[in-house]
Amino acid sequence: PVKLESGEMANWQPLFAQPDGTYNLGPLYPVENRSVYVMTYITSPDAQDVEFKVWFDDAMKLLVNGQVVHKST
């Protein structure tokens, strides 16, 4: 469980990538006005530049190694 900013508790649940490597959260949360937290690990044997694509329709914050790399409002 994770304590949210609102003070409510949330539980993590596993989510597996689709064959094309994407994650579709829509079927899990088929309602409007929702907040979803996602955590994943991406590992590589070598340091390299990567492209990370995220789609959202409201606001989001993306952290990499604990550092905010993108924030929208």
For residue 9, give the H/E element and its range: strand 9-10
Is the model's pLDDT at 62 over the cut of 90?
Answer: no
**pLDDT score for 48:** 92
On the CB side of 32, CA atoms within 13 Å amount to 2
Cα-based torsion angle of the residue sequence 23, 24, 25, 27 in order, rounded to the nearest 10 degrees: -140
pLDDT digit string (tens) for 3-56? 877 888 877 888 888 898 888 888 877 777 777 778 888 888 999 998 878 878
Residue 73 has pLDDT above 80, yes or no: no
pLDDT of residue 2: 75
What's the chain's length in residues?
73
Determine the pLDDT at residue 45.
93
- Fill in the DSSP letter of residue 71: E
